[in-house]
Each structure stands twice: as C-alpha cells, then as structure tokens.
C-alpha cells in the first residue's frame, strides 16, 4: 500500500489527475476561408459551439474529472502540418477523416486510394497521448480541435450492423461468444463456438449490464467518454448528418489544399443501406419500452451536449 506522497512522486502524470481545462469559447480563425458559400454552414457552426459551451458551463460547474491528461487525449489524432487535432468518434465518418489527415500530413496523395486496413492498422498517424506533457499542452492550446458526432441511436445501430451482422474475426469470438453465452437461453453449440448471429436485443442487454461479460468498446462508447467535450475545448463541431458540408468547411478553415475534398464513399459494406432514422426504428422495435428508455438514458449526455432530438 503506497502512501499518497509516494504515489505522487512515483509518476509525473499524477499531478494531472483531476485536470480541468476550462471550456473557453475562442473565436474561430476564418482568415483562410474563401468564397461566400460558407455563411450558412458557419452560422450553424457558431450555434453548435455556443450550445455546447453553455451546456458545459451549466453541467460541469467546475467539476474535475478523476483521470490523467493522457487518458483525456487518447482518442485525439494529430496533424502537425495544418495544426489539426481530430477526436475520433467511430461510426461518424472517422475512417474517411483519417484518410484526409493522412493526405494533409503528406502521407498519401489522395484519400481515395487508402485501404481500410491502412487507415486503421497502418500506424501512420500519431495520437496526442504519444507526446510529452509540454507537447500535449502546446497542441491543445494552439491547434484547431475538431470533433464529428452522430445521432447516438444511429451510431449504435450502425456499430451493431457493422460488427455483428457481417463476418468479423475479432468481434464475433471476443464479444459475440460472451454475449450469446450470457444472454441467450438454450444457445446451440455452434453459436457458442463462433459467437456469430448476435441479436440486437442481446447486444443491448450486454450494453446495459453493469456486470458486462466483456468490457466496453470505442464503437459504442459514449462520445462524452471518448472525447470529453466539456473538458477539452473543441473549436469545431461537425455532425455526421451534415458531414460533407461541415468537413469541407473545416478544411477551408485550416488552409487545406483546394483540391482536397472530403471523400463521399462508404468505407465498408458499401452495398448495405446506410443506417438512418427508419433503419434505427426497425431495430428499436425489437426492444421493450423499458430497454429503449434505458438505452436512451445510457446516451443521455450525448443527446444533450450535441442537441440531438430524443428518438
């Protein structure tokens, strides 16, 4: 049992436990924006920024988060050339965003010929937690920080469809097997062996279980716990629902090459219908009224922070 003093001297990061970065609302630098077609997008952007700022002031009220600074920034990708910090929210355009960051960084000539595996397993981009404390603070204070979010239920259903309705060599054996074993009565041997065929309701039972048989995953973790929007002051809030417009405006703001446009293609399972409000409705029908309410409650902060309408 180490004394508190020993723990403090043990790690230089300990003093950043409970760090609080005040969410001051800085004006966006719009000096690089060319053309008058961005007025409406800019107006929406300012409303989102002030909405989140006001929400955080009310909700946060000087609260400190009991975590290290390095954990706060562990999902943030760094692009040093154009001074961009991008917090990754899976199922909200993150694959194409990482392609764009690779192009901005000079690692690729075009976003269109970068494979899915290169994007996610290539280790081409650095994350903010890989820098020392001075490097982290300097970038947090001087780079343009962006986050792209999505309607929480849409994001959840999209993650389920992607990971459980298609062959997957990681999610089926790791999550699928554990979910079927705990939540499916009289599961057959094949299902227990492969972990394939998880039903949406079983997945929701796992999500809402305080004693989950396997941990959380970034694809369905709340944005409030991935990117800490009330502790890190994001300069730009994009939404999946207006992805291309928002992304292309952001690229103008940071002085990206004029020919670089945000890719339109669907990263995987391109023949599948995109997850939209109607698709979500069909999946939510499989749940009881109580399960639907509890799922909404699980993402309640995300709904509030980003001003999404409850389903």
- Cα distance between residue 301 and residue 294, in whole Å: 13
- pTM of the full structure: 0.89
CB–CB of 85/76 below 8 Å? Answer: yes
Residue written as token pair 């309701």: 201
Residues whose CB falls within 8 Å of the CB of residue 111, separated by 6 or more in sequence, listed in order: 96, 99, 100, 102, 103, 260, 262, 263
With 90 as the cut, is the pLDDT of residue 281 above it? yes
pLDDT value, residue 68: 82
Place of tokens 């292309």: 248
Q: How far is CA 48 from the centre of its chain?
A: 17
Output the pLDDT for position 12.
41
* pLDDT at res. 170: 96
| Residues 311, 303: Cα–Cα separation, whole Å | 10
Strand partners, 76: 87
The strand order across the sheet containing 144-149 reads 126-127, 76-79, 84-87, 144-149, 236-239
Q: Does 3 score more than 60 pLDDT?
A: no
| pLDDT for 46 beyond 90 | yes
The string of pLDDT tens digits covering residues 74-133 is: 999 999 999 999 999 999 999 999 999 999 998 887 777 877 777 766 677 999 999 999
More confident residue, 218 or 271: 218
Mean pLDDT score, 141-148: 96
Give me the residue label for tokens 């937690």.
129
CA angle 272, 277, 281 (to 5 degrees): 95
Q: What percent of the chain has pLDDT over 90?
A: 71
SS3 state of residue 250: helix
- What digits encode the pLDDT tens for the residues 296-309? 999 999 999 999 99
Those residues whose C-beta lies under 8 Å from the C-beta of residue 205, and which sit 6 or more positions away, are: 179, 182, 183, 291
Domain ranges for the chain = 38-153+218-276+301-306
Helices 200-208 and 152-164, packing angle to 10 deg? 120
Encode pLDDT of 156-179 as tens digits: 999 999 999 999 999 999 999 999
Instruction: Of 242, 48, 76, give the one whose Cα is nearest residue 144.
Output: 76
pLDDT at 173: 97
Mean pLDDT along residues 66-80: 88
Going by pLDDT thresholds of 50, 70 and 90, the confidence category of residue 5 is very low
Strand-pairing partners, residue 78, are 85, 126
Position 268 scores a pLDDT of: 65
Rounded mean pLDDT, 272-281: 91
Per-residue pLDDT at 289:
97
pLDDT grade for 11, boundaries at 50, 70 and 90: very low
């Amino acid at each position: 049992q180490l004394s508190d003093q020993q723990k403090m001297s043990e790690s230089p990061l300990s003093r950043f436990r409970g760090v609080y970065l005040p969410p001051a609302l800085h004006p966006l630098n719009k000096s690089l924006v060319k053309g008058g077609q961005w007025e409406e997008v800019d107006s929406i952007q300012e409303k989102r920024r002030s909405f989140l700022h006001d929400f955080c002031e009310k909700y946060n009220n000087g609260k400190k988060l009991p975590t290290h600074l390095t954990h706060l920034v562990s999902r943030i990708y760094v692009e040093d050339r154009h001074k961009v910090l991008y917090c990754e929210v899976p199922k909200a355009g993150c694959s194409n965003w990482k392609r764009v960051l690779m192009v901005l960084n000079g690692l690729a000539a075009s976003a269109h010929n970068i494979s899915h595996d290169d994007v996610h397993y290539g280790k081409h981009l650095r994350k903010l937690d890989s820098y020392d404390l001075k490097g982290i603070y300097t970038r947090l204070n001087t780079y343009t920080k962006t986050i792209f979010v999505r309607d929480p239920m849409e994001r959840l259903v999209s993650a389920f469809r992607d990971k459980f309705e298609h062959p997957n060599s990681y999610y089926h054996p790791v999550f699928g097997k554990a979910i079927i074993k705990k939540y499916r009565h009289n599961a057959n041997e094949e299902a227990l062996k492969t972990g394939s065929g998880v039903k949406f309701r079983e997945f929701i039972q796992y999500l809402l279980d305080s004693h989950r048989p396997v941990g959380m995953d970034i694809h369905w973790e709340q944005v409030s716990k991935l990117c800490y929007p009330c502790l890190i002051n994001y300069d730009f809030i994009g939404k999946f629902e207006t992805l291309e417009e928002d992304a292309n405006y952001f690229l103008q703001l940071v002085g990206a090459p004029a020919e670089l446009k945000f890719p339109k293609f669907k990263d995987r399972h391109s023949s599948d219908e995109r997850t939209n409000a109607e698709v979500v409705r069909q999946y939510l029908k499989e749940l009881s009224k109580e399960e639907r309410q509890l799922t909404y409650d699980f993402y309640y902060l995300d709904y509030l922070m980003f001003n999404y309408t409850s389903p």
